[in-house]
Amino acid sequence: ENLNSPEVLKARLATLCKAWASVHPSVSDLVLINGKDETVVGEKTSAVHFWLFGVELADTALIIHRATSSLTVVSAQKKLDALAPFGSIVRGIPKSVDDNGQVPGVKQVVDSFRPGASVGVVERELAVQKGDAAQTWRAVASGKVTEVDVSVAVSVALGPKSPEELKICGQAAMMAVRVVQDILVGTVEEVVESGESQTHDAISQMAFAVVEDDSPYIDKWNKESGLNLLDGDVVFATVQSGSDCVLKVSAPAKDTPLDPQCILVGVGTKYLDYGATLIRTLIIDPSVDQRETYLVLLEVLDAAVAALRPGKTLGSVYDAAWARVTAAKRPELEAAFPAIIGYAQGLEFRDQVYSLRSGEKQVVEQEMVFAVVVGFQGLSTVLHTGKQTTYSLWVADTIAVRATCNETLTAAVSKAKGDCMYFLDTDENGAVTAPAPAPARAQAPPSKTPARRSSRGKTNEAAPPPRRSARNQRQETLINFEELKQLEVKQKQLRQKKVQEMMAWFRQLDQSSNGDQSGQEAALSFASLSAYRDPDAFPAGVRRNRVALDKDNFSLLIPIHGWHVPFHVAVIKNVATTEDADGAVMRVNFVTPETPAQEKMFPPLEDPSVMFAKEISLRSRDSKHLQLIMKSIRECQKKYKDHCSTPGGFTPSAPLQPRRGPQIQMTNLLIRPVVGRGRILGTLSAQQNGFRWFSQGQPPVEILFTNVKHAIVQIAHSDNIVLLHFCLKQPIMVNKKRTAEIQFYKEVGTVVEELEKRNKRSMDPDEILDEAEEERQKQALNVTFEDFCKKVESATDCGFKFDAPFRELSWQGVTHRSIVEVSPCRDCVVALHEWPGFVLSIPEIEVVYFERVDFSLKSFDMVVVKKPMAGKYEAKPVMITGIPSTHMVKVKEWMSEMELVWYEGKDSLNWNLLMKEPNKDLRKFCLEDRSWDGILNDDTEDQEQEEDEEDAVDPDSVYEESDDTDTSDDESVESEDESSAEEVSSGEDWDALERKADKADREDAKRRAQQTEAPPAKRQRQQRAAAKPRGRR
């Protein structure tokens, strides 16, 4: 039942013959003998069996004849009967053994060769094969024929994959992703968090156990990812840590305890005999050196993948990776880099003919699959504890070489620094974090009067917290500046990388359009107006001489001379119908090249005599039919517009299929946008291919899984709302309005405040009970929503995972009208508490610009420019305004972790004019103006420093002067403290003294910020002015 079709066998047989003819033209026949000992594995021989037949034939001799593109198979009669569907392509010789222990069929094949003929074999595998057929060949063929190793030719033939093979490779990669995510990484995280001891071998054995018959993952992964683990296998599973790591996929896991610092996890899988490789490195409390080295390793991997293009040699791929290693100017990395950084994959898990190493002359071909494996072995670093340790870094991905750009099949397991590094005892800057203090007992509010001491010297009442001195405030400011400086260093690298990406993107766009961008747009528009790809798609049953509308193919069928001629609805400008005594007339106006707005839709015409239909009038006695056609055309045009605006051409008209089995639903949910009048409660249920919200007396709201772009669950913390938010790829109709944002939510407690409770005491028993009940309801709702999401992911084929906001990374800002909490998620940035909701997809972000960045202002604005669609930028970027300046470092740190490029400036820009610049001349913008870096990167400070270089003072003198100023400031603070003590005795209360001290600190900090912000020449003038004697006020 797993056999290939005769057509597939014939095509692949021709490909194999062509490959070995180009490498070994003198070889006329190819002999592949597969033994019967399963311990002896011949990967190329088995791969050819699977590739040609779809099954492996053990204890079989396979002879391929290039002249006739046919096969001779010497095997048992039962296996020959299974090959009967291939017909005359396969000639079978029943296998038998004579008295001498030899196979007559193999001797017959050898006798058919002319003496001294060149016969292709796989030498390395044939020499170790066991069985009667292999022994007979070695005894009979020796000295009669010349054996030629054709391993390279077999690899060349099996290298490029068909679409069906690439799909299976993707499934093998998905299996590797699930093993690493669900088993290896999950187990390692549990071991590290619990602190228990676990061996490397015990963790790796968990990966091998997924394909056993009693594995709990068989049904789970089949439902979630469509994987049948009975068709899969685990080739290797590696878990390594400590100083004895070996960067080889064949290295076995050791029976030693896990070292919870730098851990290597990886797996090699086979699905339907096609292989995939995935390796990741997990680092706990990394040192600064480890973080920098890991970033270098990711850049090395990106360089290798970028160089892995059709027509390039494998040696050039290695050279590109090596160039990035040497660019780091760290000799220890060069010594730790492996000599081989990958291999081709497919039916042969590791094809050594296509190894990514220096000097390799084999050429990369389109639709090949490679495992790119890079790492550094045996590096040393000093941890935050002061201990010196040896560690290794290792990362691998499975890459499919495509025509336009490579596809990472294992990209679902992130290798970004923020996802592979864990900070338990340190923060992200490498500083040791103090343990969280124990919760203190509730105390009465502190008195406004100074604390007094009793005769025993103990404080009777809690004193107010000590105020921060000006020196402490300056120290905090310097720390923030240091963090921003580190972020700027990384941003320079990201900006340069973005410039290169924009150049590569435009060159690819320019190459696909042959240098004519407008021509490309026209070609795309014209190509999309194909009514029917072939005659079989034409609808059947259309009445003769009657106009009809094919809604599925967006075509208007107009009868002309007895034949229906299709017109795509996109070329229809407008439709009008007029009635008279004899019936009705429908006039259809078409778009022509003379229409200015649609001129680019038509490609340049070689024949100037070509004519376009501008208008067609149709008369019918059935006026109702023409009215119905006119209405249907307008609806079909709207539907086609939505169809084109969605990537992949999502079709929303697919029916919602009911789910069999236990129902997955939540009741009493409110919906946004509002349906009907008032607050209407409904039930949200998960069906087989989507969601349905329904309420009595209201039309149901249906959301298909394929139409979900982002699914976010936000549980209640300090707020009193729990919600599910869906951002859709294509808008749907809700309450007779189109919307792409739908939210289902539930509120906790009462929304209305009772005025009579305002005068009650804060410790009122009833109020305490109400708060406790509200907290209990909140926790129950959180559990309900989370369980609903888990059930949807595990029990349905939704194809996505629910995202959740990271509340600790949130900041405040204005997305629409009011101030809301903006929270980053895994794949998007959201603000969902207020309606309408705000959802910004992270992969769509091109660059970010911070406006009004000034230390004298309390807030700044953030402008997000989205990536271009169809070669054009949107007219208006996304803006989040009114972000407090205290959140600046947090926002920038998160964006740097996500490798987003940002710029900043003191002024607000005119984005209506600025967004028109790239669309005017995209070539000049990407190649000459350095894209957004040339527009938004502000180098005015450097220019001012060059202009004022003559007036700038010696930095040492400035620092000495500033140190003196700091000393005087400290003395002034001490004098303020002394005077404050005198004022206390003179009768001034404690609150007044606190207000004076805070005012003095704010003025001092503001003066310091202005001096730090000023250019050198201006700062010098301020210092000279400060040094002049002043009169006492």
Beta bridge partners of 880: 862
The pLDDT of residue 1012 is: 47
The pLDDT of residue 939 is: 55
For the residues 684-711, what does the mean pLDDT come to? 91
Stated as kind and residue range, the H or E segment containing 336 is: helix 331-336
For the residues 228-240, what does the mean pLDDT come to? 92
Distance (Å, whole) CA 205 – CA 239 = 10
- Flag whether pLDDT at 465 surpasses 70: no
Residue 576: CB atoms within 10 Å: 11
806 in helix, strand or coil?
coil
DSSP output for 492-523: HHHHHHHHHHHHHHHHHHHHHTTT-HHHHHHH
The pLDDT of residue 592 is: 79
What pLDDT, in 10s, does the model give residues 540-578? Answer: 778 888 889 888 788 898 998 888 889 888 888 889 988
> The tokens of 862 are what?
């953030």
The amino acid sitting at 608 is P
* CA 44 to each of CA 97, 268, 286, 300, 735: distance values in angstroms, whole numbers, following the listed order: 26, 18, 42, 31, 62
Residue 332's pLDDT band (cuts 50, 70, 90): very high
For the residues 495-520, what does the mean pLDDT come to? 70
The pLDDT of residue 161 is: 94
The pLDDT of residue 245 is: 92
pTM: predicted TM-score of the whole model, two decimal places: 0.48
For the residues 174-192, what does the mean pLDDT come to? 93
Pairing of strands 721-734, 737-747: antiparallel
> The tokens of 354 are what?
């296509």
The more confident residue out of 700 and 676 is 700
Q: What is the largest CA-CA distance in the chain?
A: 124
Distance (Å, whole) CA 772 – CA 783 = 17
Residues in the chain: 1033
Ramachandran angles phi, psi of 178, nearest 5°: -65, -40
CB-based contact 558:548 (threshold 8 Å): no
The more confident residue out of 386 and 156 is 156
What does the angle CA 865 – CA 866 – CA 870 come to, to the nearest 5 degrees? 130
For the residues 125-137, what does the mean pLDDT come to? 86
* Alpha carbons within 13 A on the beta-carbon side of 99: 0
The answer to whether the Cα torsion of 775, 780, 786, 788 is positive or negative is negative
Residue 139: CB atoms within 10 Å: 14
- Flag whether pLDDT at 943 surpasses 90: no
The pLDDT of residue 1007 is: 61
- Flag whether pLDDT at 189 surpasses 60: yes
The pLDDT of residue 625 is: 87
The pLDDT of residue 348 is: 92
The pLDDT of residue 528 is: 54
The pLDDT of residue 862 is: 95
- Flag whether pLDDT at 466 surpasses 80: no
Residue 39: CB atoms within 10 Å: 6
Stated as kind and residue range, the H or E segment containing 349 is: none
Q: Radius of gyration (Cα) for the chain, nearest Å?
A: 36
Residue 601's pLDDT band (cuts 50, 70, 90): low
The more confident residue out of 419 and 266 is 266
The pLDDT of residue 935 is: 85
What pLDDT, in 10s, does the model give residues 859-916? Answer: 999 999 998 877 788 778 999 999 998 888 889 989 988 999 999 998 889 898 888 8
Residue 771's pLDDT band (cuts 50, 70, 90): confident
Stated as kind and residue range, the H or E segment containing 683 is: strand 682-686
Beta bridge partners of 828: 841
> The tokens of 674 are what?
């509002």
What pLDDT, in 10s, does the model give residues 30-87? Answer: 999 988 765 556 688 989 998 999 888 888 999 999 888 899 999 999 989 989 888 8
For the residues 379-388, what does the mean pLDDT come to? 88
> The tokens of 220 are what?
């789970």
Distance (Å, whole) CA 845 – CA 611 = 44
DSSP output for 900-933: --EEE-SS---HHHHTHHHHH-HHIIIIIS-HHH
- Flag whether pLDDT at 448 surpasses 50: no
The pLDDT of residue 456 is: 32
- Flag whether pLDDT at 920 surpasses 80: yes
- Flag whether pLDDT at 256 surpasses 80: yes
The pLDDT of residue 512 is: 58
The pLDDT of residue 912 is: 87
The pLDDT of residue 756 is: 52
Distance (Å, whole) CA 613 – CA 591 = 9
The pLDDT of residue 965 is: 42
What pLDDT, in 10s, does the model give residues 471-490? Answer: 333 333 334 566 677 788 88
Which residues make Cβ contacts (< 8 Å) with residue 846, sequence separation at least 6? 865, 866, 867, 868, 873, 901, 932
- C-alpha 907, offset from chain centre: 33
Which residues make Cβ contacts (< 8 Å) with residue 728, sequence separation at least 6? 703, 707, 708, 709, 739, 740, 741, 742
Report the C-alpha dihedral over residues 629, 634, 635, 639, rounded to 10 degrees: 130
The more confident residue out of 126 and 532 is 126
Ramachandran angles phi, psi of 1028, nearest 5°: -70, 145
Distance (Å, whole) CA 825 – CA 806 = 6
Burial of 995 by CB count in 10 Å (0-12 exposed, 13-18 middle, 19+ buried)? exposed
CB-based contact 237:208 (threshold 8 Å): yes
The amino acid sitting at 727 is C
Distance (Å, whole) CA 744 – CA 840 = 19
Q: Which residue has the tokens 């001797």?
A: 107
* CA 280 to each of CA 177, 277, 355: distance values in angstroms, whole numbers, following the listed order: 11, 10, 21
- Flag whether pLDDT at 462 surpasses 80: no
Report the C-alpha dihedral over residues 866, 869, 873, 874, rounded to 10 degrees: -70
The pLDDT of residue 357 is: 94
- Flag whether pLDDT at 599 surpasses 80: no
The pLDDT of residue 423 is: 82
- Flag whether pLDDT at 749 surpasses 80: no
Residue 607's pLDDT band (cuts 50, 70, 90): low
What pLDDT, in 10s, does the model give residues 982-1027? Answer: 444 444 566 677 677 767 766 665 565 555 444 444 444 445 444 4
The more confident residue out of 559 and 952 is 559
For the residues 576-591, what does the mean pLDDT come to? 87
| Mean pLDDT across the chain | 80
The more confident residue out of 854 and 445 is 854
> The tokens of 581 are what?
């005594």
- C-alpha 686, offset from chain centre: 26
